[in-house]
Structure 1
């Protein structure tokens, strides 16, 4: 039975027992005040008692959004790639900057939808979609831990991008690929006027369809001279473009792990490159950091993304 009380300010409150705390062996209670009438307090108390009876009651946390988000990212990082954790950290800051001080239980669906609309007016739909995905994960985790009753991100929709017909009509068509003749011309220029490894690098990209990170992560063990193939099992992650601070990560999806048959011409090019690289290693001696990368710099470290293209 709830205990009802009239406060000194004339408003009513209720106190409901939550039962015995198994750790402290003390009675747990929940109190809420601010009701204008005794009837309102009694009605709210009865709702809580029914939730307790049905095993549906959740005592929401007073933890701030920022505190919980920082706890969540630690859990998320245990099973996510470094690149994904870095992206989520960046995304959740768009929420922390506005709600950081608020108790996470105070963030309603209206508040959440309003923030998504604000972000949609500043950033691309694709980027906001990533921020929204991060928000969904944070609040879903809070619900799973029974720290909040409702997930404010449920059924929230991203605003549709505004399309201006005149802009579409006046927009020039973007070139998304090179025609065969254009590619041949580009590769010829890479061979005659490019840097030492440009011709091999861009030929490999053109003939395999590899992503740049996958290409830079290739090692000689991935190159099968008997089967004329390349095995793709990893990608190079180097956000700071530092030759010593890179990481080799698994591809984004399981489907990205694959074996690619390559042209005989490319096989010969790679074999010639391997011979040159071995000669370079002998010349460099201990100064060469031999990590077996196919597209290595003259010091053995993998090429940087910023040095290509």
Structure 2
């Protein structure tokens, strides 16, 4: 709604009510004066309202997106991110957002332009999930700009292409046991056994120290991890985990307690920092090397088979974490227990990830009901 008044100098002024700022609750108004006639003031107000209807950020702001997003990242966002997430954010900003949108004033970027940006990325061959993450960075930047009252809305509410969820490939109990038996005399046995029986992420495995393990009561406390800096490839042992939920305590079976007890007794005395798993040359374990060794061993295992029916599905080392969760679900373990064990932030994430198990769980439920009521 606009109001008009004639000033003492004979010029006209328009005041446009923009409603209340959702962050502060304060009323927002746009003032503009200097019009020679009321007709000019009315025309300006009408044009301004059309811009709002077309999705333009109409707060006067000449800051370019490339300048603001760099300031937002350097002064605020980077302080909240892990090392490798920083690298990913920087790549999305430098390789996509700034080249496409950087020279636009932050107050002039509208939803239509963001939609066009998204479409161009998809048409250029970028996967929907990767494109979604780029838009998420832009959204975070604009949320911050809105909080500072630099813009009055966030222009990233666009139509996205739904990506078909990748099927989670796992092993069954028999397959897992056959592979563990195959690698039992190798260095790889210990890291693979721990992941298989705990569901740890490979970085969490590499960061695990004896101080984090209560062998007497059968518990592992996940408090640290090892990551590899994507920029300089250095290994970093850190107490910063993926999420707050990643800090957790999980129970371990007696079979693993016994194996770990013997492993600790036989471990090298040079292990001054007390890591549970070391590299072959008794140094800090590299998650990438564990993953590569697993892939190579799996290939050798399948090549060694005379019976092709026993070939194991090709999975990554993260697939062992999925295998752990799937086996527990099929055994009837509570979803909340599994979610906490995996360090998920919610049980919904666990259900979404392991929805492939539902048909078999439903079949087991039906079989159970058959047993219960077979005499009716």
TM over 0.5: yes
Q: 2:182 aligned with 1:189, yes or no?
A: yes
- Of residues 131, 134, 144, the one that matches 1:131 is 134
C-alpha distance in structure 2 between counterparts of 1:46 and 1:114, whole Å:
27
Q: What is aligned with 2:305?
A: none
Instruction: Kindly indicate whether the alpha-carbon contact (under 8 Å) linking 2:228 and 2:234 is maintained by their aligned counterparts in 1.
Output: no
- Of residues 170, 190, 193, the one that matches 1:200 is 190
List runs of 5+ in structure 2 lacking aligned partners: 16-29, 49-56, 295-376
C-alpha distance in structure 2 between counterparts of 1:186 and 1:92, whole Å:
43
Query: Taking CA–CA contacts closer than 8 Å with sequence separation of 6 or more, which of the two structures ends up with the larger relative contact order?
Result: 2
CA deviations on 1:259-287 (whole Å, 9 max, x unpaired) are 222122222222222223243x1xxxxxx
Q: What is aligned with 1:293?
A: 275
**Which shows bigger deviation, 128-137 or 66-75?**
128-137
Instruction: Kindly indicate whether the alpha-carbon contact (under 8 Å) linking 1:237 and 1:247 is maintained by their aligned counterparts in 2.
Output: yes
Q: Alpha carbons of 1:14 and 1:276: their partners in 2 closer, same or farther (altered >3 Å)?
A: farther
Q: What is aligned with 2:44?
A: 44
- Of residues 81, 97, 100, the one that matches 2:99 is 97
Q: What is aligned with 2:86?
A: 85
Aligned-residue offset at 1:136: 0.9
Aligned-residue offset at 1:307: 1.1
Instruction: Kindly indicate whether the alpha-carbon contact (under 8 Å) linking 2:183 and 2:189 is maintained by their aligned counterparts in 1.
Output: yes
Instruction: Kindly indicate whether the alpha-carbon contact (under 8 Å) linking 1:241 and 1:304 is maintained by their aligned counterparts in 2.
Output: no
C-alpha distance in structure 1 between counterparts of 2:275 and 2:178, whole Å:
28
TM score, norm. by length of structure 2: 0.59
SS of structure 1 residue aligned to 2:150: coil
**Which shows bigger deviation, 71-80 or 37-46?**
37-46
Instruction: Kindly indicate whether the alpha-carbon contact (under 8 Å) linking 2:222 and 2:248 is maintained by their aligned counterparts in 1.
Output: yes
Aligned-residue offset at 1:177: 1.4
Instruction: Kindly indicate whether the alpha-carbon contact (under 8 Å) linking 1:251 and 1:257 is maintained by their aligned counterparts in 2.
Output: yes
Q: What is aligned with 2:114?
A: 112
Aligned-residue offset at 1:59: 4.7
Where do 1:155-304 residues align within 5 Å? Answer: 155-161=157-163, 176-192=169-185, 194=186, 197-240=187-230, 244-279=234-269, 281=270, 290-297=272-279, 301-304=283-286
Q: Alpha carbons of 1:45 and 1:182: their partners in 2 closer, same or farther (altered >3 Å)?
A: closer
Aligned-residue offset at 1:47: 9.3
Q: What is aligned with 1:69?
A: 69
Instruction: Kindly indicate whether the alpha-carbon contact (under 8 Å) linking 2:204 and 2:224 is maintained by their aligned counterparts in 1.
Output: yes
Q: Alpha carbons of 1:2 and 1:98: their partners in 2 closer, same or farther (altered >3 Å)?
A: farther
- Of residues 121, 140, 153, the one that matches 1:150 is 153
**Which shows bigger deviation, 101-110 or 253-262?**
253-262
List runs of 5+ in structure 1 lacking aligned partners: 4-12, 18-28, 49-56, 282-287
Aligned-residue offset at 1:135: 1.2
CA deviations on 1:175-218 (whole Å, 9 max, x unpaired) are 711122211111111124x3xx2111111111111111111111
CA deviations on 1:34-71 (whole Å, 9 max, x unpaired) are x9x972445426998xxxxxxxx985221111110101
TM score, norm. by length of structure 1: 0.71
Matched positions, count:
260
**Which shows bigger deviation, 76-85 or 224-233?**
76-85
Q: Alpha carbons of 1:274 and 1:32: their partners in 2 closer, same or farther (altered >3 Å)?
A: farther
Instruction: Kindly indicate whether the alpha-carbon contact (under 8 Å) linking 1:14 and 1:42 is maintained by their aligned counterparts in 2.
Output: no
Coordinate RMSD, CA, aligned: 3.7
Aligned-residue offset at 1:107: 1.3
Aligned-residue offset at 1:117: 1.9
Instruction: Kindly indicate whether the alpha-carbon contact (under 8 Å) linking 1:237 and 1:249 is maintained by their aligned counterparts in 2.
Output: no
Q: Which of structure 1's runs of 4+ aligned residues deviate more than 4 A?
A: 13-17, 29-33, 45-48, 241-244
